[in-house]
């Protein structure tokens, strides 16, 4: 249950659950550690009731359980750290690829817009140049269609001019 809860709430309590497990395991191993310290370092004092705790019939099972809890806490901490670093690296790679893709698409769209604007301007210029104007000749009175501001009458060949509306 503790391990399942850890992975469910791992974002909020990344270090809390493994540290609590390791501390619980260490607390269960304290009497055995004190016994080993007094035996190996020849300390000149004795700890009261230590032999009673060590001779208690459930203590060997508790010590084994403490070792198990300590190992599980360390393993959970290491595995979750590796998973978190792998997932964050993967998400960073995906994020950078997406941003790079978006920037290239945006650059392509800007280039397409520039080309379209240029084509539109060219069409406007050519359409302005080729727009026919209906002009009445001042000499013969015939109506003529000319492109541009100046042209020649088709009947009398005299110069005619478009003066606007």
Domain co-membership, 85 together with 140: no
Are the beta carbons of 56 and 93 closer than 8 angstroms? no
Domain co-membership, 55 together with 135: no
- Residue 154 falls inside a structural domain: yes
Domain co-membership, 155 together with 92: no
Tokens found for residue 127: 């359409």
User: How does pLDDT run across 66-125, given as a tens digit for each residue?
Assistant: 899 899 889 988 887 888 889 889 999 999 999 999 999 999 999 999 999 988 888 877
Number of domains in the chain: 2
User: How does pLDDT run across 22-49, given as a tens digit for each residue?
Assistant: 888 888 888 877 777 777 777 666 667 7
Domain co-membership, 95 together with 145: no
pTM of the model: 0.51
- Residue 118 falls inside a structural domain: no
- Residue 122 falls inside a structural domain: no
Residue 137 domain boundaries:
131-161
């Amino acid at each position: 249950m503790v391990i399942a809860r850890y992975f469910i709430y791992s974002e909020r309590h990344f270090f809390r659950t493994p540290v609590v497990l390791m501390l619980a395991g260490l607390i269960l191993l304290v009497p055995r550690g004190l016994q080993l310290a007094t035996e190996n370092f020849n300390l000149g004092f004795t700890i009261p009731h230590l032999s009673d705790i060590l001779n208690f019939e459930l203590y060997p099972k508790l010590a084994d359980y403490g070792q198990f809890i300590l190992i599980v806490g360390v393993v959970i901490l290491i595995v979750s750290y590796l998973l978190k670093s792998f997932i964050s690296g993967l998400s960073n790679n995906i994020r950078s690829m997406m941003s790079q893709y978006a920037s290239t698409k945006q650059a392509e769209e800007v280039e397409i817009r520039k080309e379209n604007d240029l084509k539109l301007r060219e069409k406007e210029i050519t359409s302005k140049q080729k727009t026919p104007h209906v002009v009445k000749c001042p000499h013969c009175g015939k109506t003529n269609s000319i492109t541009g501001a100046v042209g020649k009458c088709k009947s009398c060949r005299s110069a005619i001019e478009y003066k606007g509306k």
